[in-house]
Amino acid sequence: MDTLIEVSDVSKRYDSAGTFAVEGVSLDVARGEAVAVMGPSGSGKSTLLNLIAGLDRPTEGTVTVAGQRIDSLNETSLAKYRRQRVGIIFQFFNLLDDLTVADNVMLPAQLAGAPRAKARRRTDDLLERLRIGEHRQAYPARLSGGERQRVAIARALVNSPELLLADEPTGALDTTTGEEIGELLRELNRAGQSMIMVTHNPDLAFRYAQRTIQIVDGKLAGDTTDGRHVARAGAGARP
């Protein structure tokens, strides 16, 4: 297996006296894999995603992505990691209201120092592929939820990251739009895009991910592959 992500005995707590948001989690994700992370509210799904995205640091353990230890990177290196290796999609899109759709999508490329013309070509290409090319000069507030999430996906993909991380990507969308976005993510995965998706929705996980990880109370509680639930004895297990 060509391992892309290696999470090793990772724990996270937000204050020294508090409980663990994530505790002793270990898992590997292969390149090209689509993994759904499921669990009840407050179980630590988004925290785990944030640790892999380099948005937060583990209290204990190590996180390695594409051979790079990211838990020990400084803020500047983490920013470079986020812009080069991962694309992040959020439940509430997190688009910048005062930038146009095209400017939102181009932003990570520009931050990475891509030439203007190249960034624009890549943006136009993505917007066309995601069927929102006609909105390139519109502002996010004028778009529907599905359109905004497509813009967010385009932004996440603009630097061609090895890993796409999605935190409840359909959570703020109606069922039909949610399915559209799900299909879009599956297409991306079929094209070779590695992906981790946090979701509440078992149907979404079943239909669009090859593997589902269960997190309960911050601990790894299970792992299913191709719909088959694989029970785990405890935290720290690897698939």
Taking CB under 8 A as the rule, does residue 80 contact other proteins? Answer: yes
Q: Give me the DSSP letters along 87-136.
A: EEE-TT----TTS-HHHHHHHHHHHTT--HHHHHHHHHHHHHHTT-GGGT
3-state class (DSSP) for residue 164:
strand
Binding region for other proteins (CB under 8 A) out of 96-104, 184-192, 195-203, 212-220? 96-104
Out of 83, 135, 148, 150, name the contact with other proteins by CB under 8 A.
83
Taking CB under 8 A as the rule, does residue 98 contact other proteins? Answer: yes
Out of 30, 73, 99, 216, name the contact with other proteins by CB under 8 A.
99
Cβ distance to other proteins smaller for residue 156 or 212: 156
Out of 148, 155, 211, 219, name the contact with other proteins by CB under 8 A.
155
Q: Which of 155, 150, 153, 213 is nearest to 5 (CA)?
A: 213
3-state class (DSSP) for residue 18:
coil
Q: H-helix or E-strand containing 166?
A: strand 163-167
Angle at which helices 145-157 and 101-111 cross, to 10°: 20
Out of 5, 36, 63, 107, name the contact with other proteins by CB under 8 A.
107
Distance set, CA 215 to CA 54, 135, 166 (Å): 19, 38, 16
Q: State the pairing for strand pair 219-225/68-69.
A: unpaired
Binding region for other proteins (CB under 8 A) out of 64-72, 101-109, 199-207, 216-224? 101-109
Taking CB under 8 A as the rule, does residue 111 contact other proteins? Answer: yes
Instruction: Name the minimum Å distance from CB 175 to other proteins.
Output: 26
Q: Which residues pair with 37 in a beta bridge?
A: 198, 213
List the x/- string, 39-68, binding to other proteins by CB under 8 A. -----------x--x-xx------------
Report which residue type is found at 91.
Q
Out of 75, 117, 226, 228, name the contact with other proteins by CB under 8 A.
75
Q: What are phi and psi of 55, to 5 degrees?
A: -85, -15
Residues 128-147 that bind other proteins (CB under 8 A): 139, 141
Q: H-helix or E-strand containing 150?
A: helix 145-157
Instruction: Name the minimum Å distance from CB 53 to other proteins.
Output: 8
Task: Count the residues of the shown chain that bind other proteins, applying the rule CB under 8 A.
Answer: 31
Binding region for other proteins (CB under 8 A) out of 34-42, 108-116, 173-181, 229-237? 108-116
Using CB under 8 A as the criterion, which residues of the chain lie in contact with other proteins when the complex forms?
Answer: 50, 53, 55-56, 75-76, 79-80, 82-84, 88, 90, 94-100, 103, 107-108, 110-112, 116, 139, 141, 155, 159
